[in-house]
Chain A
Amino acid sequence: MMEKLTILTEGAKYDVACTSSGAERPGNKGLGSALAAGCCHSFSADGRCISLLKVLMTNSCIYDCQYCVNRSSNDVPRATFTPEELADLTVQFYRRNYIEGLFLSSGILKDPDYTTERMIRALEILRHKYHFYGYIHAKTIPGTSRELIHRLGLLADRLSVNIELPSEASLQKLAPNKTKKGILIPMGQIRQGLQENRQEIVVYKNAPRFASAGQATQMIVGATPETDYRILTLASNLYQRYELKRVFYSAYIPVAENSLLPSLDTKPPLLREHRLYQADFLMRQYQFAADEILSEETPNFNPYLDPKCNWAIHHMEFFPVDINKASQAELLRVPGIGPTSARRIVIARRTGRLGMAELKKIGVVLKRAQYFIITADYPLGLRIGKETTVRALIDPGIYSVGREQLSLFGQAAPSLTGQDLLEPGFGGAGAESASWQMENGERDLAGPAVPYGYSVSADSPTRTPIDAKIKAKKSQVQALPGAGDVCSLEEGVEEAVLCLAQNL
């Protein structure tokens, strides 16, 4: 058992999602409950949350995806849980409060339907024999029949289909057994299942819930040459069209020596992954559009500044914002003010005008916010030079990553080696033809996006047209220093400050 658990955890650990949020189920007669906010039960040595027992049903797989540890050509020990073993382990861990539930994924035995049936059997034992009401996240395997997906959805709280790589060309190269269509079909089916279930619940409130915590997906970042802008627009479109709850990004960790992939000594692009998550949160909770965060002209993130600060210093015409008058949406645009502090400001200012001291107590990060706001005690805002502002905004997280991380934002994706990747038609302009298209083929899934959860209104402050002056400014922007230009992080930061201040 010990050996099996080790092998099957080893195979599952590169899956990113370990969230247990989104499903609220009060405990009753059986064992367990689910919290809408989710609950982390532990944190592993890499700082990631452990909330679910994340294992594979089996790590034998008929597919040969180049980036995956469980690919059929890889020489690793193979193991398979029986449904009974898995259910017993989950219940025993759950009773001791080690975990919040089960995250079940699987390598593909024989064919997708057979594998999914085995997963369903394990979940049925949990739900019906042990009366387990904890959280279950199940991976859907592309190619599974619609009926099985429906049965899986009735047992699990969240379903996910991995989109794996951000473009179809990359998918063809690295995962020859998977196709864009094969991945999007189950995603569409789950969306349809969710919509139908919503109607059923309206009619009959005790109707069985289909995947009550929605669906999610994940993709690998840094194994293929897509730009951040492409990844972000893809995510934005997935949120809108497939009603995903979350898109997860996974920094590629080399697990295989292959000419198609970055070499084994490449460090995972953690800073890039971090920036993607920051941008993802801006889209989901701060009402930013993908196009506001990045654009065709600047397709990659600024390594020195987080996306919100980066937006702020390039839209100085929007600031300063008056804390005592601005709407909640305007407050959300200020670096250092998040959804919670914006809400608190709106409540607190009804009782009196707010100054810097009150803001500090409310929980605003004044270190970043002070340059962008007008308060009762600073009616003109702080008058501070551009350089000081930029210096204060530099992301302190930059110092905890290696210097080499700066260059992973480069256009040319230097982490890639191998001749065949440089052939025309791959990446860059050629990628247009091979981008993610919907089944109806009308709109490009990675094309420009309407912001997620964002209603366009006439008086909206975020829709300020960029006038010609700013456009002219942007054309003569200096490039930020990359890893090759500097010999230490400190020097890079110093250069970046000067460069950004000059560009403002």
Chain B
Amino acid sequence: MSGSKPMKCPYTGGICPKSPGSRNCRSCRGAAFNQAGASCQAGASYQEGASERTEAQSQSFRGSQSSRRPQVQPKPLALPSDIVYHYDGGLAGFFCCVYESVYFRELPTAILPAKEAQPTLFQVKSIITDQDKAARVRSSIPVKISKDALALVENVFLSCLQQKELLILRFLLLAYREGSKALRMLGHPDVAPLLKAEKHLMGEAHLLKGFVRFSDYEGVLAASITPKNFVLPYIAGHFCARFSQENFLIYDKTHKAALICQKGRRRIVPLEELPFPEADETETRYRDLWKKFYHTVAIEARYNPRCRMTHMPKRYWENMTEMQELF
């Protein structure tokens, strides 16, 4: 039809505000689709569905965090119990703990890796790692919660958070109930610690992108770090892209692991010990030049060691070339 008379929109019924006369207006189609989706979920006709949705929204707005009206709490997925879980320390082992907890509806007092286990008065359950169970739990997270939740769980599992297993479990139990909304409950006592731990991990990874100091040992660059979190997977991409033509190695002393990058291929391998050779003449020369630059660039009139320590905490100093004398 020509533009003389605007056509009715087949989806919303009115005259399309965006492109009058067009059958394929995307915004109308999107709106119609959303409304239809809402009505399907509510299991009612189109009109009623819309009204139900607004009611559900307003109810969630009143919410559970600090509500004025007492609300019926949904039945928890697991109840606190005097049990301690021991697992193998890996992510798959931890997912088996989650499986166990949900299956028996019990929230353990603690979840510990077997090597950190101590004698206890509580009843101990040793969780055997079963790849099938782990895979079921793992795939349930993006489906029942969201992809971001899986990323959060995996990140926090590599962080140095105390009792991280238990805190992640508590988060998962909450999130299985709440769905993707759980990730937006930023002030919730079960969610906030995880976000904080993730921030700490990412923050440390960012700092180390700057604080790693390589030494050149006959063409191979090597550095050692002592981070609190297991940051190697988070700095690997950065350094591999930056030094794509170099062969290098970053050794994490705390976690006894090394990132090895050779001609663009990278691997993280467990490594018990790594002795560094003596620096040769060229290496010493550049180290001295760098130290000289470092000490010259500071302005004496603005001397402020506390500010330096705020930005660059002392625990990083032991691996930094220019801080060797001060450390």
Contact = CB atoms under 8 A, between A and B. Distances in A.
A41 B302 CA distance: 20
B54 interface: no
B66 A9 contact: no
A263 to B, nearest CB: 13
A355 interface: yes
B188 interface: yes
Nearest to B207: A40
Interface stretch (A24-32, A107-115, A116-124): A24-32
Given A29-B245, A42-B312, A100-B210, A1 B289 contact: yes
Given A96-B221, A348-B186, A358-B65, A46 B303 contact: yes
B184 A47 contact: no
B229 to A, nearest CB: 18
A5 B292 contact: yes
A62 B81 CA distance: 80
Contacts of A362: 186-187, 192
A50 B294 contact: yes
Contact of A47 (B240, B244, B306): B306
B215 A352 contact: no
Contact of B320 (A42, A54, A268): A42
A358 B299 CA distance: 42
Given A95-B216, A355-B65, A2 B184 contact: no
Contacts of A357: 66, 187
A44 interface: yes
Interface stretch (B36-44, B56-64, B97-105): B56-64
Contact of A44 (B213, B297, B301): B297
Contacts of B129: none
B175 to A, nearest CB: 12
A70 interface: no
Interface string A353-365: 1110111111000
Given A10-B296, A44-B297, A362-B192, A96 B302 contact: no
A19 interface: no
A348 B65 CA distance: 10
Contacts of A431: none
B290 to A, nearest CB: 5
Given A96-B290, A348-B187, A29 B244 contact: yes
A344 interface: yes
Given A47-B311, A350-B184, A355-B65, A2 B213 contact: no
Given A32-B242, A47-B307, A42 B66 contact: no
A96 B215 CA distance: 6
Contacts of A351: 60, 63, 65, 181, 184-185
Contacts of B300: 46
Category for how many chain B residues contact A: 35 or more
A29 B241 CA distance: 9
Contacts of A2: 288-289, 292
A326 B300 CA distance: 46
A351 B178 CA distance: 10
B286 to A, nearest CB: 5
A270 B320 CA distance: 28
B70 to A, nearest CB: 14
Contacts of A376: 65-66, 68
A261 B275 CA distance: 56
A353 B213 contact: no
Contact of B301 (A39, A42, A100, A267): A267
Category for how many chain A residues contact B: 35 or more
Among B189, B245, B305, max chain A CB count under 10 A is at B245
Given A10-B296, A376-B66, A358 B188 contact: yes
Contact of A93 (B184, B210, B290): B290
Interface in A42-89: 42-51, 53-54, 89
Contact of B214 (A95, A270, A352, A354): A95
B212 interface: yes
B162 interface: no
A488 interface: no
A46 B307 contact: yes
Contacts of B210: 39-42, 51, 97, 100
B209 interface: yes
A240 to B, nearest CB: 31
Interface string A383-415: 000000000000000001000000000000000
A423 to B, nearest CB: 30
A361 B62 CA distance: 19
Interface in A328-364: 344, 347-348, 350-355, 357-362
Nearest to B283: A96
Interface string B176-208: 000001001111110010000000000000100
Contacts of B288: 2
B307 A97 contact: no
Interface in A2-19: 2, 5-6, 9-10, 12-14
B308 A358 contact: no
A33 interface: yes
B187 A353 contact: no
A433 interface: no
Given A43-B312, A95-B246, A98-B213, A48 B302 contact: yes
Nearest to B287: A96
Among B184, B242, B305, B307, max chain A CB count under 10 A is at B242
Given A95-B214, A95-B216, A96-B216, A46 B184 contact: no
A14 B299 contact: yes
Interface string B249-276: 0000000000000000000000000000
A147 to B, nearest CB: 32
Contacts of B299: 13-14, 46, 48, 253
A312 to B, nearest CB: 23
Contact of A352 (B61, B304, B311): B61
A30 B293 contact: no
A285 interface: no
A355 B186 contact: no
A352 to B, nearest CB: 2
A377 interface: yes
B63 to A, nearest CB: 2
B120 interface: no
A161 to B, nearest CB: 22
A188 B65 CA distance: 54
Nearest to A98: B290
A460 interface: no
A195 interface: no
A1 B240 CA distance: 31
B322 interface: yes
A267 B321 CA distance: 31
B158 interface: no
Minimum-distance CB pairs A-B, first 7: A352-B63, A358-B187, A47-B307, A27-B241, A352-B65, A44-B298, A361-B192
Given A45-B304, A48-B302, A361-B192, 13 more contacts: A26-B241, A29-B245, A44-B294, A46-B304, A47-B302, A49-B311, A95-B216, A347-B186, A353-B61, A354-B65, A358-B186, A358-B187, A362-B186
11 contacts: A31-B246, A39-B210, A42-B320, A45-B305, A46-B304, A47-B302, A98-B321, A344-B186, A347-B186, A351-B184, A351-B185
Interface of B: 60-68, 181, 184-189, 192, 206, 209-216, 221, 223, 238, 240-246, 286, 288-290, 292-308, 310-312, 320-322
